Structure 1
Amino acid sequence: MQDRIPARMRAASQRAFPVLLGAVCAWLLMRQAGTLDWSSVGAAIQAIPPGRWALALLATAGSFWALAQYDAVAHRHLETGAPDGPARRAGAASIALGQVIGFGPAVGAAVRWRLMPSLGHGAILRLTGFVTLSFFAAWGVWVLGLALPMVGGAAWLALPVLPALGLGGALALWRFPVLRLGRVALRLPSIPAAARLLALCLLDLVCAGLALWLLLPAGTAPALPVFVAAYALAMGAGLVGGTPGGVGPFELALLALLPMVDPVALAAAILGYRLVYYAVPAVLGAVYATLARPLAMLPQPRSAPVHLSGPRAEAAVAAQASVQALRSATAGACLLRTPHSLTLFLGAQHGPISDLLAPLRAEARRQNRVACLYKVTARDAAAARRAGWIAAPHSTEAVLDPRAFDLDAPDRRQLRRALRKADRAGVSVERMTAPDWPALAEVNTAWAQAHGGERGLTMGRFCSSYLRDKPLFVARHQGRIVGFVTAVAAPGERCLDLMRHRPEAPAGTMHALVHALIRSAAREGCHEVCLAALPAPRLMRFAPGSEGLARFKSSFAPSWRPLYIAAPGRTALLLAALDLWRAVCRPEPLPPPAPSTSDWTGPQAPAQDADSAVRLAG
């Protein structure tokens, strides 16, 4: 009981602080108001031209349009399935009422609950929290990077500070897409979502400041950029004060920041601004919140199953990633979901890839991600370029025809030498149909410790449920398993997947394992074995250890096939490449295995296909 008393006292003090602050500010404001000639203030209000009132209303509409977009971004981030239109209208109504009544988050949550009850209390609270915190974060960036330097008379500081804040925030979101607080994991906004929120916040501040600036007498108002900067700071004071509409802190801050403006003219403009920016939207928001029919969520259609099959065997490695299907009337593909990008992997499973580019961009935007093509062929890259996308070589994969594989070919002398070393050391290779999982796990652990851990995304990780239906070849030395390789299979194709060995494995062990895979594929009539990909030559220096892997694969004298990455623009291409690189190098923990890998496609995305939107009524 004694422990609860201090906690209650702290909670009461936290609730009382905004009230006390508001009371103090109101008292100070009343003292300031007592010095004004209110008949002159009334005359100043009457002197505002009708055209300026109309423009102020138009600027208010622009500000609320920007604010309403916050809810659309939030719904996409939380994957509620709500369409943009009702989401924006609910957001605008909640903000219009919250800023007048006070206690904005609580009022906003209540209004959203009234208009979208089918989302549930938890989703409404998360939605309101996302909108509130993201607005404060975006406002903080603009205030620190732009408003403070301008109001302080050092506008040049914005040139280094604002880009530094933006780049630092982007790097933080890229490095930590999920914020873990104890057992709670919070998925932070993607970089595209954060950039959109920053742009919306700036538009809101400019339009709201413009609405007030327009109500000042012509010739008496400071330059609009300086005024908007002062407005942004004053608005922050009003938000922190917690009073309805920020009354008190907002006016005091504005008077202090704009001493050059006639107090009578400023008071008249503020009163007009309260009418235009607060009263009118509040009335419209109350009418909408009262009369609008609540959004009723109909049962959502099941996501289309993602079959990891297609013309390329490597498609099966996506089983350990978060995937979803993309369908159009004529084509289909598998998509990889990473924190900041939505990636079409390996090209279309059927149909032309050109028919999937527009649906991919639409689906990526619906998820606050950038669209990307990854490991696509030169032909698919050319189709993307024709559609206006930017494509760049990403990697080269080694392929060979096992039916024509000749070990005695002159260009395979390094392979023959390695195989002789393994043979002299007494290494034996076999295809294992009844895997000894504990022994294989020991080999995998030893390899991971020597190589800094396993990679993720499209690079397979050791998992018995993932490997149990894959071709598996093991190497033994003195009766002990010292290495193994696995492959993913498609009709007529095999693709090398996991390669694991103990540090003490004899030289040539991995050559012998891959050679056994090639011979097995030849016996089964396969026309292609893919030895997986290496970074493109100009990217080799960024991939430690790739030179040794290149020598290993080159010993099999394969053909080299370029693969490409593509995105709608250069910025999107850079972001997608960095996002995929992080997902490979810093993979998330593997999800629980599914009952069977024959039809399983990995962790499914809750999102729907691009051409099967969520159906809602109301």
Structure 2
Amino acid sequence: MNQHIAQASDFARRTLPTVAGGLLLLLLWQKAQTLDWLAVKAAFSDISMLAWGVAALASAASFWAVAQYDVVAHRHLRTGVDSRVARNAGAAAIAVGQTTGFGPAVGAALRWRMMPSLGHATVLKITGFVTLSFFAAWGLIAISVALPVVSGVGWLSLLLFPLGLTALCGLLLRTPRLVVLGRRFDLPSVSAFLTLTALAAVDVIFAGTALHVLLPAEIAPSLSVLIAAFTLALGAGMIGGTPGGVGPFELALITVMPGAASPELAAALIAFRVIYYAIPCVTGAAWALLMPAHSHRQLPPLDAKLTGARAEIGIAAQNDHAAIATLSAEGVALRTPQALTLFLGATEGRLSALLPELRRVARSENRLACLYKLAARDAAEARRAGWHVVPFAVEAVIDPARHALDGPEHRQLRRFLRKAEKEGVTYGPITTPDWERMTEIHTAWEDFHGAERGLTMGRFCPLFLRDKPMFGAWLNGELVAFTSWLQAGDALSLDVLRHMADLPQGTMHGLIQTVIDHARAEGLAEVSLAALPHPSLPKRIADCAGLARFKTSFAPRWRSLYIGAPNALALAICAADIRQGILTPAPLPRSQQDIWDLDALVTPLLGPTPEDVAQHDLRRAG
């Protein structure tokens, strides 16, 4: 029953627009019968060469704008195709598709003809991105600008358009991904959507201008009204699904231009279809069919070296990350929906050498360039390069060699350590992880604290913990808390910290102190207890007062950390994006080898599966 309903719904969705377009085309034909076609021919002949030339230039500008949609799509999908190639393919596909009807299908076929090396799946993704994003941008312009202008309340668009644009950008920030039928779809970034909206505006402005110059002055409305009317008519034509939108487009235009159904208007519309549809269609088809197919082979990405002076660089492995490299410097960048973020500054060379390359790569992926967790020296260097940099956090850093418990600054720490010792809590390295027990502790921790965070905060996963230094706390012989650490050179940085809900006081203090003692014995120079919000952010510092007291009990040295972007607006978007990535992190990356390794780690916890038992029986029988 449900299958039949779905099939009927799909049939209606595919056929109703075409049927409606056909009915509107029939109505247009009936209107055309009332026209004096000799007068239409005379009006067509009266169009000046200057008008033809201006209309041709305006049409070219409009097609340049819509062709840029393909450039944005290729950047979104990170195909690596040159912008010029993407732009030419997009212009040809759109020119032919919008004229012949069934634009997405025709456009996808032509794109595949011109770029077969991308494969069918990627070409379909590009076509879907271009189609849906154009409808989204067109819808915003039509509702917030075109409708008020045509209705005579154009001033209202000054309020509606900024509100609508802000709301959609906020939605993209809040929900950068959609999951449909179990498949994840990455939505355009805010910067990409702003670009797409600007391109859609350029498209309708120049296309409307092309039509305006072809109209006689005595029947032409004001340019703003005609562009608004054209925008609405364009949508009617696209939804109608007829070749070139014939029928819905003309009727919608006549409807919003009362009294203009005249031979002069008919002549202008015919001329517009010649200059905006016919000539681009023939040119685009010739280009697609005669030019050799573009052969593209994307170079494999440069592997990022997850080593550096700061141990925290290793946490990039749990994220989508990339190497940013020049001849003299290298760094590691994290990908989030809105930003490409250089993490911890340069791992080799000077930060200033990486900034132009970071901006170039970010732009090639429709992302904003960002700098995150910079030390003071790098922050000053970024400021000198013109970046907007502000402090946002302070990191608790301990020198194990100088960490002595007998000072007055450790009075509170000594008290907590005595309490844990009195309760019989013991500590030590975890050399053979009990993943089942550690999973129980992690689950209990999440039940009490909520879902774990991510991005630059450690996450519990055996694949990512198995090769990291780990330490545990035992009570009556049972593991009750554990911590993992990131190590680079002579530095340790806190990664994951998990514990049961009901612990003796001082248990976690003793666990951290054990790690500090281990670092001293190993001759390590630094132990980082991770960061807290900067004191200049009082509203946020109050949210982690307990954590601040815990770290302060170790009397650490506080090191300021900085975040930066090319300008203040980009910084605000990047900061919101990073916060979103921390609170709702993307799934951990997995390779096939990782999946096999995870099976090997998890199977002992879950016991043998029926398939395992069957294979065991077969081996015994053999």
Query: What's the TM-score once normalised by structure 2's chain length?
Result: 0.91
Confirm whether residue 328 of structure 1 aligns to residue 326 of structure 2: yes
Confirm whether residue 316 of structure 1 aligns to residue 314 of structure 2: yes
Deviations 1:61-117 (A, max 9, x none): 110001101111111212222211111101101111112211111111111121111
CA distance in 2: counterparts of 1:478 and 1:19, whole angstroms: 75
Q: Which residue of 2 aligns with 1:602?
A: none
Q: Which runs of 5+ in 1 are unaligned?
A: 597-618
1:480 to 462, 478, 481: 478
Q: In the superposition, relative to structure 1, how do residues 576 and 268 fare at CA in structure 2: closer, same or farther (>3 Å)?
A: same
1:564 to 551, 562, 567: 562
Confirm whether residue 553 of structure 1 aligns to residue 551 of structure 2: yes
CA distance in 2: counterparts of 1:532 and 1:557, whole angstroms: 14
Q: Which residue of 1 aligns with 2:612?
A: none
Q: Is the 8 A contact 2:396 2:529 kept in 1?
A: yes
Q: Which residue of 1 aligns with 2:390?
A: 392
- Residue type of the partner of 1:59? A
Confirm whether residue 471 of structure 1 aligns to residue 469 of structure 2: yes
SS in 2 for 1:88: helix
Aligned sequence identity (%): 49
Q: In the superposition, relative to structure 1, how do residues 491 and 131 fare at CA in structure 2: closer, same or farther (>3 Å)?
A: same
Give 1:10 shift. 6.0
Greater Cα shift, 230-239 or 124-133: 124-133
Q: Is the 8 A contact 1:220 1:262 kept in 2?
A: no
Greater Cα shift, 363-372 or 283-292: 283-292
Give 1:425 shift. 2.1
Q: Which residue of 1 aligns with 2:421?
A: 423
Q: In the superposition, relative to structure 1, how do residues 406 and 9 fare at CA in structure 2: closer, same or farther (>3 Å)?
A: closer
CA distance in 2: counterparts of 1:556 and 1:15, whole angstroms: 67
Q: Which residue of 1 aligns with 2:529?
A: 531
Q: Is the 8 A contact 1:100 1:278 kept in 2?
A: yes
SS in 2 for 1:566: strand
CA distance in 2: counterparts of 1:296 and 1:351, whole angstroms: 36
SS in 1 for 2:354: helix
Map residues 483-502 of structure 1 onto 2, 5 A cutoff.
483-502=481-500
Q: Is the 8 A contact 1:193 1:369 kept in 2?
A: yes
SS in 2 for 1:306: coil
2:460 to 426, 446, 462: 462
Q: Which residue of 2 aligns with 1:307?
A: 305
Q: Which residue of 2 aligns with 1:158?
A: 157
Q: Is the 8 A contact 2:535 2:541 kept in 1?
A: no
CA distance in 1: counterparts of 2:264 and 2:443, whole angstroms: 74
Deviations 1:473-527 (A, max 9, x none): 2112222222222221111111122222212111111111111111111111112
1:407 to 401, 405, 422: 405
CA distance in 2: counterparts of 1:513 and 1:428, whole angstroms: 9
CA distance in 2: counterparts of 1:16 and 1:183, whole angstroms: 27
- Residue type of the partner of 2:398? L
Give 1:16 shift. 4.4
Deviations 1:296-317 (A, max 9, x none): 123x333222221111111112
Q: Which residue of 2 aligns with 1:368?
A: 366
SS in 2 for 1:297: coil
- Residue type of the partner of 2:149? M
Q: Which residue of 2 aligns with 1:613?
A: none
Q: Which residue of 2 aligns with 1:612?
A: none
CA distance in 2: counterparts of 1:543 and 1:439, whole angstroms: 33
Q: Which residue of 2 aligns with 1:29?
A: 28
Give 1:162 shift. 2.0
CA distance in 1: counterparts of 2:42 and 2:25, whole angstroms: 24
Q: Is the 8 A contact 1:347 1:373 kept in 2?
A: yes
Q: Which residue of 2 aligns with 1:223?
A: 222
Q: Is the 8 A contact 2:99 2:244 kept in 1?
A: yes
Q: In the superposition, relative to structure 1, how do residues 260 and 353 fare at CA in structure 2: closer, same or farther (>3 Å)?
A: farther
Q: Is the 8 A contact 1:418 1:511 kept in 2?
A: yes
Greater Cα shift, 404-413 or 56-65: 404-413
CA distance in 1: counterparts of 2:277 and 2:222, whole angstroms: 24
Greater Cα shift, 545-554 or 343-352: 545-554
CA distance in 2: counterparts of 1:12 and 1:466, whole angstroms: 48
Give 1:273 shift. 0.8
Give 1:12 shift. 5.6
CA distance in 2: counterparts of 1:340 and 1:96, whole angstroms: 31
Query: What's the TM-score once normalised by structure 1's chain length?
Result: 0.92
Q: Which residue of 2 aligns with 1:588?
A: 586
Q: Which residue of 1 aligns with 2:266?
A: 267
Q: Which residue of 2 aligns with 1:197?
A: 196
Q: Is the 8 A contact 1:540 1:547 kept in 2?
A: no
Give 1:337 shift. 0.9
Map residues 325-364 of structure 1 onto 2, 5 A cutoff.
325-364=323-362
- Residue type of the partner of 1:144? I
Q: Is the 8 A contact 2:534 2:541 kept in 1?
A: no
Greater Cα shift, 559-568 or 478-487: 478-487
Provide the aligned length of Structure 1 versus Structure 2: 594
CA distance in 2: counterparts of 1:556 and 1:379, whole angstroms: 26
Q: Which residue of 1 aligns with 2:133?
A: 134
Q: Which residue of 2 aligns with 1:256?
A: 255
The structure in which a higher percent of residues are helix is 2
Q: In the superposition, relative to structure 1, how do residues 209 and 543 fare at CA in structure 2: closer, same or farther (>3 Å)?
A: farther
Give 1:4 shift. 8.4
Q: Is the 8 A contact 2:491 2:527 kept in 1?
A: yes
Q: In the superposition, relative to structure 1, how do residues 178 and 19 fare at CA in structure 2: closer, same or farther (>3 Å)?
A: closer
SS in 2 for 1:75: helix
Q: Is the 8 A contact 1:396 1:561 kept in 2?
A: yes
Q: Which residue of 2 aligns with 1:118?
A: 117
Greater Cα shift, 308-317 or 171-180: 171-180
Q: Is the 8 A contact 1:331 1:351 kept in 2?
A: yes
CA distance in 2: counterparts of 1:499 and 1:427, whole angstroms: 17
SS in 2 for 1:384: helix
CA distance in 2: counterparts of 1:4 and 1:432, whole angstroms: 54
Greater Cα shift, 561-570 or 584-593: 584-593
Q: Is the 8 A contact 1:402 1:519 kept in 2?
A: yes
CA distance in 1: counterparts of 2:584 and 2:8, whole angstroms: 44
Confirm whether residue 73 of structure 1 aligns to residue 72 of structure 2: yes
Q: Which runs of 5+ in 2 are unaligned?
A: 595-622
Q: Is the 8 A contact 2:446 2:452 kept in 1?
A: yes
Q: In the superposition, relative to structure 1, how do residues 385 and 4 fare at CA in structure 2: closer, same or farther (>3 Å)?
A: closer
Deviations 1:446-479 (A, max 9, x none): 1121111211111111122222222222112222
Give 1:568 shift. 1.1
Q: Which residue of 1 aligns with 2:40?
A: 41
Q: In the superposition, relative to structure 1, how do residues 249 and 63 fare at CA in structure 2: closer, same or farther (>3 Å)?
A: same
- Residue type of the partner of 1:227? L
Confirm whether residue 91 of structure 1 aligns to residue 90 of structure 2: yes
Q: In the superposition, relative to structure 1, how do residues 504 and 95 fare at CA in structure 2: closer, same or farther (>3 Å)?
A: same
Deviations 1:225-284 (A, max 9, x none): 211111111111111111111111111111110115472332222111111111221121
Q: Which residue of 2 aligns with 1:107?
A: 106
Confirm whether residue 438 of structure 1 aligns to residue 436 of structure 2: yes
- Residue type of the partner of 1:408? D
CA distance in 1: counterparts of 2:386 and 2:108, whole angstroms: 42
Greater Cα shift, 77-86 or 215-224: 215-224
SS in 2 for 1:498: strand
Q: Which residue of 2 aligns with 1:609?
A: none
Q: Is the 8 A contact 1:75 1:127 kept in 2?
A: yes
Give 1:218 shift. 3.0
Q: Is the 8 A contact 1:26 1:248 kept in 2?
A: yes
CA distance in 2: counterparts of 1:387 and 1:53, whole angstroms: 48
Q: Is the 8 A contact 1:342 1:372 kept in 2?
A: yes
CA distance in 1: counterparts of 2:8 and 2:371, whole angstroms: 56
CA distance in 2: counterparts of 1:572 and 1:472, whole angstroms: 38
- Larger RCO, structure (CA 8 Å, separation 6 or more): 1
Give 1:424 shift. 2.0
CA distance in 1: counterparts of 2:11 and 2:410, whole angstroms: 79
Q: Which residue of 2 aligns with 1:604?
A: none
